[in-house]
Amino acid sequence: MGRRLTSGAALVVALASGSIAGLGGYTFVYARGGSYFTNDPRACANCHVMREHYEGWLKSSHRSVATCNDCHTPASFVGKYWTKASDGFLHSLAFTTDRFPDPIQIRPVNRAITEQACLKCHADLVAGIVGHDDATSCVRCHPSVGHLQSALGTPTASRR
């Protein structure tokens, strides 16, 4: 505008931005937006698509030693929050628009993060195995350590 706003226009801007902030704030709280800044696995199951994966984790061998973030985000602070932000955005977009494969599938970039995450704790144990071959995969042979699969392969049904 290049000039000082009149007091009437300032009032309009204040009202508009206040309404947006209020509406946005309510939506944020209603959607439990704050929970995404925590390390609590329940936050990841805010959306019901993740319910079975959450329940699978509850029954897995890693439940008392690793949370979602331990296996699904990198170790560095920036890497962790970048992954949280980008995955969060893509997950929200997919869930809101209802466009995603069923059964849901992990993307290669996220699979790589998880493979690396195994080494956070098990690097000493597998030092002789990894590094020789890019194709070496932990979860290919240990698919159920993070999410217990029932005999069906599907995480145990949440349905009655």
Partner 1 sequence: MPHPSTRSGSARFFVLVAAIAAVGAVGITALLMNIFQRKQEARLTSVRVVDIDDHTVDPKVWGRNFPIEYDGYLKTVDQVRTHYGGSEAVPRTPTKADPRSVVAQSRIEEDPRLKKMWAGYAFAVDFREDRGHAYMLADQTFTERQNVVKQPGACINCHASTYAVMNDLGKGDLTKGFDALNAMPFAEARKLVEHPVACIDCHEPESMSLRVTRPAFMEGMRAWKASQGVKGYDVNRDATRQEMRAFVCGQCHVEYYFKGPEKRLTFPWANGVKADEILAYYEESGFKDWTHAESGAPVLKAQHPEFELWNQGVHARSGVACADCHMPYQRVGAQKVSDHHVRSPLLAVDRACQVCHKWPEDELRARVDSIQSRTHQVRDVAMDALVDLIGEIKTAREAGATDDSLAEPRRRQRRAQFLLDFVEAENSTGFHAPQESVRVLALSIDETRRGERALAANRGERAESRPTPRAAR
Residues that bind partner 1 (CB under 8 A): 1, 3, 5-6, 8-9, 12-13, 15-17, 19-20, 23-24, 26-27, 30-31, 47-49, 51-52, 95-96, 101-103, 149, 151-154, 157-160
CA 128, CA 136: separation in Å to the nearest integer? 11
**Min CB(159)–partner 1 separation in Å:** 5
Of 94, 92, 146, the closest CA to residue 118 belongs to 146
**Min CB(143)–partner 1 separation in Å:** 8
**Given the complex with partner 1, which of 135 and 151 has the nearer CB atom?**
151
**Min CB(100)–partner 1 separation in Å:** 10
Look at the chain and count its residues. 160
Q: Please name the helix (run of DSSP H) or strand (run of DSSP E) that holds residue 19, with its range, or none.
A: helix 7-30
My answer on whether omega of the bond before 41 falls inside 30° of 0, hence cis, is no
Query: What value does the CA radius of gyration of the chain take, rounded to a whole number of Å?
Result: 21
Handedness of CA 57, 152, 156, 154 (dihedral sign): positive
**Min CB(145)–partner 1 separation in Å:** 16
**Given the complex with partner 1, which of 21 and 121 has the nearer CB atom?**
21
**Given the complex with partner 1, which of 131 and 153 has the nearer CB atom?**
153
At 41, list the tokens. 């696995």
**Given the complex with partner 1, which of 78 and 141 has the nearer CB atom?**
141
